[in-house]
Structure 1
Amino acid sequence: MTVRLAVSAAVRADPGRVWSELTDWAGQSRWIPFTTVRAAGATTGIGVRVTALSGFWLARLPVGLLDRFIVTDWRPPDDEPGRLEVLHLGPYFTGPGVFTVVPGDGATRIECVELFDLPAGRITEVPVRLLLPVMRRGFGESLRRLAAICES
């Protein structure tokens, strides 16, 4: 089963500032609640490997929702929209995610589209469809937190 999650937010900040905050992996904990993010090796560009945990670490054991992904496209904004594309590698979901940073008159728009392939097929379909509106609101709130950080 594939789930599509799309959210966006207007940010009264320069596109470069939005990009900088978006791609500050460790700093994402400031705008994504209960989440720690770690990048292994390089922290910029295509090929960056990231581990995000919504929960907590018990020594080396992750407790919560673990998401591993790799950056597959990296185009900072200048005169054109910026594009950060990732491929989620699991273990709980896989699939592509795209953040677009779109310059505008007086505001920058950040758009995110995630396509999650869930494990266990139809068993997860009903619970996920019920949770999708909650996930959308939560992710939208995270983008609003990102906007507030960029605007401060």
Structure 2
Amino acid sequence: MPELVLPVHVEAPPEQVWAALTDWRGQGRWMPATDVEVVTAAEEGVGVRLAARTGLPLPWRRGRHLGVLDTMVVTEWDPPRRVVVQHTGRIVRGPGIFELTPAGGGTDLVLTERWYPPFGLLGRVGWPLARPFVVVGFRVALRRFARFARTYAG
């Protein structure tokens, strides 16, 4: 199973970073080309279901993207230390783990993503080619998140 482990330091206390991280609808403000919808009545805790659409927006179809639908469910919830979302889509599958640790006047956030590659053998063989692009995308997102969380006010 491919795994990415990417850290970022956020100049904000863990409670503020947690609030920014678990503002699911706000994720599109730091995750490139992504809109997130909460599809359950609850927005916090284990069992929350999310639908993220990542890709190019279609101007003539408001809220629609040419890209990937990433469905998720929160499987672990330990504020303000750890949240795990299980990606349950057809393309993106596996756990996404966010871990927060107080550090140096702020918070260290580590994102771990583990995937079950789609498309069988083709996905497993293609992962080494796709990995550098995925890493760059997540690094951009985490830098944007650090700026977003530093000024997050809810």
Taking structure 1 as the reference length, the TM-score comes to 0.89
State the Cα RMSD in Å: 1.6
Alignment partner, residue 49 of structure 2: 49
Letter in 2 for 1:132: R
Letter in 2 for 1:106: G
Instruction: Indicate conservation of the 8 Å contact 1:6/1:136, yes or no.
Output: no
- What is the Cα deviation at residue 126 of structure 1? 3.0
| Structure 1 range deviating more: 132-141 or 59-68 | 59-68
Q: What SS does the aligned partner of 1:33 have? A: coil
Alignment partner, residue 64 of structure 1: 67
Letter in 2 for 1:3: P
Aligned length, in residue pairs: 147
Higher strand residue share: 1
Letter in 2 for 1:32: M
Q: What SS does the aligned partner of 1:143 have? A: helix
Please list every run of 5 or more consecutive structure 1 residues that lacks an aligned counterpart in the other structure. Answer: none
Correspondences of 1:3-152 after superposition (within 5 Å): 3-40=2-39, 41-55=41-55, 56=57, 58=61, 63-77=66-80, 82-152=81-151
- Supply the distance in 2 between the matched residues of 1:120 and 1:28 (Cα, whole angstroms): 27
Q: What SS does the aligned partner of 2:136 have? A: helix
Please list every run of 5 or more consecutive structure 2 residues that lacks an aligned counterpart in the other structure. Answer: none
Please list the CA deviations of residues 107-128 of structure 1 after superposition, one character each: whole Å capped at 9, or x if unmatched.
2001011111022211122322
